[in-house]
Amino acid sequence: MAFRRQEQGMVNSRRLAGAASYRRGRHAEQVAMEKLAGEGWTILKHRARTPWGEIDLIAARGGMMIFVEVKCRPTFSQAASSLGTRQIRRLIDAASMLCAENPGWVYDEMRFDVIVVTADNAVHQIADAFRLE
* Residue-wise pLDDT tens digits, 73-91: 888 778 777 788 899 999 9
Mean pLDDT, the chain, rounded, equals: 87
| pLDDT surpassing 80 at residue 3 | no
Q: What span, in angstroms and rounded, lies between the C-alpha atoms of 98 and 36?
A: 20
The predicted pLDDT at position 17 comes to 64
Indicate the pTM of the whole model: 0.83
| pLDDT surpassing 80 at residue 60 | yes
Domains and CATH numbers, the chain: 2-130 (3.40.1350.10)
pLDDT, average across residues 6-25 = 69
Which carries the bigger pLDDT value, residue 84 or residue 37? 37
The predicted pLDDT at position 31 comes to 95
Which carries the bigger pLDDT value, residue 104 or residue 16? 104
Q: What span, in angstroms and rounded, lies between the C-alpha atoms of 14 and 115?
A: 26
The predicted pLDDT at position 94 comes to 96
Q: Which of 20, 23, 18, 39 is nearest to 123 (CA)?
A: 39
For residues 44, 42, 106, 115, the Cα torsion angle rounded to the nearest 10 degrees is: -80
- 42-50, strands of its sheet edge to edge: 42-50, 53-61, 64-73, 109-118, 123-130
